[in-house]
Amino acid sequence: MKLGIIYAGQGSQVVGMGKSFYPREIFDQNEDLKELCFNGPLEKLSYTPYTQPCMVMVATIITDLLKEQGIVPDYTAGLSLGEYSALYCAGVFERKQVIDLARFRGKVMQEAVSGIESEMIAVLGMKEELLQDLCHQASSLGVVSISNYNCPGQLVVAGEKKAVEKVKELALENKARRVISLNTSGPFHTSLLKEASLALKERFKKETFHEMKIPVIFNTLGHEIEDQSIPEILEKQVMSSVYFEKSIRYMIDQGVDTIIEVGPGKVLSGFVRKIDRSIQLYQIEDMESLKKTVKALKGE
């Protein structure tokens, strides 16, 4: 068996997440996040500056519990925000550090898009090249681009509302199977996040990046790091497309045959199934699913 761990991103948050792992010291060190995770309300938990540290905090707990059971991946990756949890898993960040960074990232991302009328849509059943062309056609109305390459048949477009609405109209005219409006608080992974990217660049100058102990497959590359530094990649990540499908295919090419999704829900598992149905999938979001996964992996 070759194991990959993938971490869910923003959008997967649910009220009650992490509660089954309590008591753990990290919750009491972050009382505001604990209260939001356990009791919500969902509207506040779904606000970017809160969602990001909450998701990362719960992911660090699950990562540590897996390590305590001797379960360490051969490769790790995360969807957007999930990349920070993957870097924690790989030993690049310490726990307090990664939660603080997620707080900062959520704050500067929200500030960067404040006042911009924006939209994100999932486009189903359309070729990449055609959708790229439609984004180009609509770009006279504002910033618009493909923000996520999730899996075969599912791409996400983000940008300024008028331009995205035009892409939606053109996609349906060009026989997209379906177009779904996404409930997000900004046009993430587009050039509109430039201010957030610059703020992260300054913040990273003060941070210690430890040696990577497990290979991380990065969103903006769809493979392992080459001649870039981790800070450079993370600066770029907020305003660049997420190549999730490419990342999973790379993981599989390295021999990974078993993948654990960490985080609420099974969004990423759904993408992986569409990429390669032969992968053995597990998902961990609470103590029950953790125990079940550990038992299965240990063959008990």
Report the catalytic residues.
Answer: 80, 189
Cβ-count burial of 1 within 10 angstroms (0-12 exposed, 13-18 middle, 19+ buried)? exposed
Strands 154-160 and 118-124: antiparallel
Residues in the chain: 300
- Gap between the Cα atoms of 233 and 199, Å rounded: 14
Residue with tokens 């681009």: 145
- Gap between the Cα atoms of 296 and 293, Å rounded: 5
CB 263 within 8 A of CB 82: yes
CB 217 within 8 A of CB 250: yes
Signed CA dihedral, 266, 270, 272, 277: sign only: positive
